[in-house]
Amino acid sequence: MARISFIESIRQAQYEELARDPKVFLMGEDLVANVFGTTTGLIEEFGTDRVRDTPLSENGFVGAAAGASMVGARPIVDLTITSFVYVAMDQVCSIIAKSKYIYGGQVKLPLVLRMCMFYGNSNAAQHSDRNYPMFMGMPGLKIIIPSNPYDMKGLLKTAIRDDDPVMSFEDGTLWSQKGEVPEGEDHLIPLGLADIKREGTDATVVAVAGGVPLALKAAEELSKDGFSIEVVDPRTLVPLDRDTIIRSVSKTGRVVVVDPAHQSCSAASEISAIIAEEAFESLKAPILRVTTPDTHLPFFPNGEKALLPSKHRIVSALKRLLN
Amino acid sequence: MSLFMHIAQIYFRNRMVDMENLTLEQYYEGYLRMLRIRKFETRAEENHSKGEIPGALHTSLGQEAEVVGACMALKDDDYMVGNHRSHGHPIGKNADMKPLMAELYARKTGICGGKGGSMHLSDFSIGSLGETSIVGSGLPVAVGAALGSNMLGEGRVTLCFFGDGASNEGAFHEALNLAAIWNLPVVFLCENNGWAVSMPASKAVSVENIADRAAAYSMRSELVTDGQDFESVYIATKRAVDTARAGEGPTLVEVKTYRFAEHAVNMGRMLVDRGEELEEWLKRDPVEILRIKINEMVGDETRLKEIEEQVEREIEDALEFAKQSDFPDVADAFDDVYSERVSDFYGLS
Ligand SMILES: Cc1ncc(C[n+]2csc(CCOP(=O)(O)OP(=O)(O)O)c2C)c(N)n1
Ligand SMILES: [Mg+2]
């Protein structure tokens, strides 16, 4: 295993799957120039047919990925920043999510839409969305949301091999994070399998994406006060590993759900509802959510920082449950 | 209608509009506004690299003639829509630079109260209807502004700035067709700087000139091949604006220009090697070209120097204003949007 960055783990997953399966190809804006660092060495190896630059035509090339996948190709689309998916909503929601269903299973759409959540660095509201919850509300789309390089690579490789459309939400605040990641073909993480990032007995934090490292820091801080906090990372939101979440909450009886998305109808809301429905008897305290309030992220840094989940806010929520 | 007839008709209509030449005062005004953009952005870039300005910075250095030439073809109460490369547009339409600079500095006194930043320097008091950073998203808004103004019987013209890259978005097609069938007073001004981040227009656009696309909408077009020349941009845009105001409908104006800086400062690894092409374009600095032209016309630099001193002072004042202003309060993040339940976020009071 080598220690690599989150970005490098994406590059490796793409590289290995392009090499493994000639049906796989990659397209998106500014890939050849390697603007985001996820295509280093890919052009040299696979050429500009299989690593293809697109014009600024999101609805066009996302829809083209749908069509290509219908005839047996396996496109990976790099939409760069997740806010740009709105331009392609027509194809994502009406074609990609629904074609297999409305045509009664006659067709499958094995494609991956990759997107970076570009928040926390004063890029203002139009560039800073963490919009996966919207797509949880759209059946037919699988959603991976990794929190470290190991998971990123393993989940992306599985997503590329999956026969359903998968959206990959990649948290920009984690880009430079490093971790141990296996090289080679076999590093596959099944979709729908949560990971317990830290074991504990007093309270559970269910956290997604950039919320996970914050939850781990909060758990570490509270351990100094003698509290034992478990951190569960669902890793994929569709499918969602309910069992692991329920098992953890049944053990601890207290839960905080951390999610960088806006609070209303967030992933945290859905997870909280599932816990309330399936583990109500084991709860010793209310379920608390640490999310972004229902206002846009402002450009001014002091405002943006305050709105996003932080170690401090997670610790506050946990203390409220533990006292 | 045959293509020939169509072209002939466009040609004929164009001739009917008076070609209005610029007065000396307008040249000076153009120089003033172009120099403001140049100095505003140069200082902003410097101070950004010192860490004074958060986020990314998209400059229009090199495109000053195109921006100012187009804006000066408008009346003060005409509307304007822009994009992520937003600093030049309001300065070109004569906005006060203090709130613009304060916005870059993320201050409460910024034109958007610190909520927007570099990609959104939109001053509604001078007729701006947004500087929007999702590429192509401004085009339909401009159509709507022209529609609204027509419905209200005000007859204001809307100028819409967008890039070569934006012309490949679906919104471009829908906006141009709508403006054409409804015969709206819009001027679509394509700032063709040759690139969309790392994608050259020559690879991304199927026609040689984006202006050629107007034919698909039976729309008039103007092609300004020398976008570094203030006067050429002004004349072409003025013709389009006059046509729009006369109720003769929209025009697609394409201006060939170039951005001198990288796509954006501090936006990941956006540096793209444009090689000799950049060197060639740097030789045609629009601000210098206009200065030389005025000097040749007048034979005396006094007024130019006065303008240069004035701009230096204005920039210093704007920087001073920005730096002395307060940052917004966290609570301000909840203003200007309907938002509920903001008091019960743990650790956020
Ligand atoms: C819909 C959308 N896709 C991608 C981007 C990222 N992006 C920002 S500016 C830009 C290039 C735009 O090129 P152009 O329209 O020519 O304007 P220029 O930057 O050259 O002024 C890109 C790809 C975006 N902001 N919006
Ligand atoms: Mg461009």
Taking only the tens place, the pLDDT of each residue in B190-249 is 999 999 999 999 999 999 999 999 999 999 999 999 999 999 999 999 999 999 999 999
Reported confidence tier of residue B269, pLDDT bands at 50, 70, 90: low
Contact B304, B295 (CB under 8 A): yes
Reported confidence tier of residue A184, pLDDT bands at 50, 70, 90: confident
Over range A294-318, report the average pLDDT.
96
Inform me whether the pLDDT recorded for B18 exceeds 70: no
**Among B105, B199, B338, which would you mutate to test the A interface (most chain A Cβ atoms within 10 Å of its Cβ)?**
B199
Contact B114 A299 (CB under 8 A): yes
* Spatial distance between the Cα atoms of B89 and B69, rounded to a whole number of angstroms: 11
Q: How far is the CA of A313 from the centre of ligand 2 (A)?
A: 42
Residues flanking ligand 1, CB < 6 Å? A 29, 56, 58, 84, 87; B 84-85, 133-135, 163-166, 191, 193, 195-197, 263
Contact A299 B198 (CB under 8 A): no
**Among A300, A304, A313, A322, which would you mutate to test the B interface (most chain B Cβ atoms within 10 Å of its Cβ)?**
A300
According to the model, what pLDDT value does residue B180 have?
98
CA distances from A87 to A59, A295, B140, B308 (A): 6, 22, 13, 43
Q: How far is A211 from chain B (nearest CA, A)?
A: 15
Q: How far is B9 from chain A (nearest CA, A)?
A: 32
Over range A196-222, report the average pLDDT.
98
According to the model, what pLDDT value does residue B16 have?
39
Q: Which of A112, A31, A108 is nearest to A71 (CA)?
A: A108
Q: How far is B187 from chain A (nearest CA, A)?
A: 22
Non-local (6+) Cβ contacts of A283 within 8 A are: A249, A253, A254, A255, A275, A276
Reported confidence tier of residue A137, pLDDT bands at 50, 70, 90: very high
Over range B37-43, report the average pLDDT.
98
According to the model, what pLDDT value does residue B272 have?
80
Q: How far is B274 from chain A (nearest CA, A)?
A: 11
Q: Which of residues 126-185 of A touch B (CB under 8 A)?
A: 126-127
Give the lowest-confidence range in A56-70, A109-123, B15-29, B145-159. B15-29
Q: How far is A61 from chain B (nearest CA, A)?
A: 11
Q: Confirm or reject contact between A302 and chain B (CB < 8 A).
A: yes
Inform me whether the pLDDT recorded for B267 exceeds 80: no
DSSP B11-42: HHHHHHS--PPPPHHHHHHHHHHHHHHHHHHH
Of A36, A56, A307, the CB nearest to B269: A36
According to the model, what pLDDT value does residue A1 have?
86
Over range A181-196, report the average pLDDT.
94
Q: Which of B263, B281, B282 is nearest to B272 (CA)?
A: B263
Of B134, B168, B342, the CB nearest to A295: B342
Contact A55 B205 (CB under 8 A): yes
Of B170, B327, B340, the CB nearest to A300: B327
Catalytic residue, from A127, A187, A296, A312: name it. A127
Q: What rounded mean pLDDT belongs to chain A?
A: 97
Q: Confirm or reject contact between A89 and chain B (CB < 8 A).
A: no
Q: Which of B131, B164, B197 to mutate to test the pocket of ligand 1 (most atoms within 8 A of CB)?
A: B197
Radius of gyration over every alpha carbon of chain B, rounded to an integer in angstroms: 20
Number of H helices, E strands in chain B: 12, 8
Q: Which of A261, A256, A292 is nearest to A272 (CA)?
A: A256
Q: Closest ligand 1 atom, CA of B201?
A: 16
* Spatial distance between the Cα atoms of A269 and A258, rounded to a whole number of angstroms: 10
Over range A263-286, report the average pLDDT.
97
Reported confidence tier of residue B341, pLDDT bands at 50, 70, 90: low
Contact A56 B169 (CB under 8 A): yes
Kindly identify which residue of chain B lies nearest to residue A258, measuring between CA atoms. B346
- Domains in chain A: ranges and CATH: 2-181 (3.40.50.970), 195-322 (3.40.50.920)
Q: Confirm or reject contact between A307 and chain B (CB < 8 A).
A: yes
Give the lowest-confidence range in A183-187, A318-322, B70-74. A183-187
ipTM: 0.96
What percent of chain B is modeled with pLDDT above 90? 87
According to the model, what pLDDT value does residue B19 have?
41
Over range B81-92, report the average pLDDT.
98
Kindly identify which residue of chain A lies nearest to residue B203, measuring between CA atoms. A55
Give pLDDT tens digits for B159-174: 999 999 999 999 999 9
Q: Confirm or reject contact between A286 and chain B (CB < 8 A).
A: no
What percent of chain A is modeled with pLDDT above 70? 100
Over range A35-59, report the average pLDDT.
95
Q: Which ligand is nearest to the CA of B263?
A: 1
Contact B347 A316 (CB under 8 A): yes
Give pLDDT tens digits for B312-325: 999 999 999 999 99
According to the model, what pLDDT value does residue B7 have?
52
Helix (H, G, I), strand (E, B) or coil at A165: coil
Inform me whether the pLDDT recorded for B144 exceeds 50: yes
Inform me whether the pLDDT recorded for B8 exceeds 50: no
Over range B275-289, report the average pLDDT.
96
Reported confidence tier of residue B11, pLDDT bands at 50, 70, 90: very low
Reported confidence tier of residue A78, pLDDT bands at 50, 70, 90: very high
Give pLDDT tens digits for A228-250: 999 999 999 999 999 999 999 99
In the structure encoding, which two tokens stand for residue A197, read together? 């990032």
Residues in chain B with CB shorter than 8 Å from the CB of A313 are 345-348
What percent of chain A is modeled with pLDDT above 90? 96
Residue type, B161: F
Edge to edge, the sheet with strand A255-262 lists A195-198, A229-233, A203-207, A255-262, A288-292
Inform me whether the pLDDT recorded for A155 exceeds 90: yes
Over range B265-280, report the average pLDDT.
79
Contact B269 A303 (CB under 8 A): no
Q: How far is the CA of B85 from the centre of ligand 2 (A)?
A: 10
Q: Pick the more confident residue, B341 or B296.
A: B296
Residues in chain A with CB shorter than 8 Å from the CB of B264 are none
For the question of residue A127 being annotated catalytic, the response is yes
Q: How far is the CA of B163 from the centre of ligand 2 (A)?
A: 5
Kindly identify which residue of chain A lies nearest to residue B167, measuring between CA atoms. A56
According to the model, what pLDDT value does residue A185 have?
75
Over range A195-204, report the average pLDDT.
98
- Domains in chain B: ranges and CATH: 3-326 (3.40.50.970)
Element (H, E) at B241: helix B230-245
| Predicted TM-score (pTM) of this structure | 0.95
- Strands B199-200 and B195-196, bridge-based pairing: antiparallel
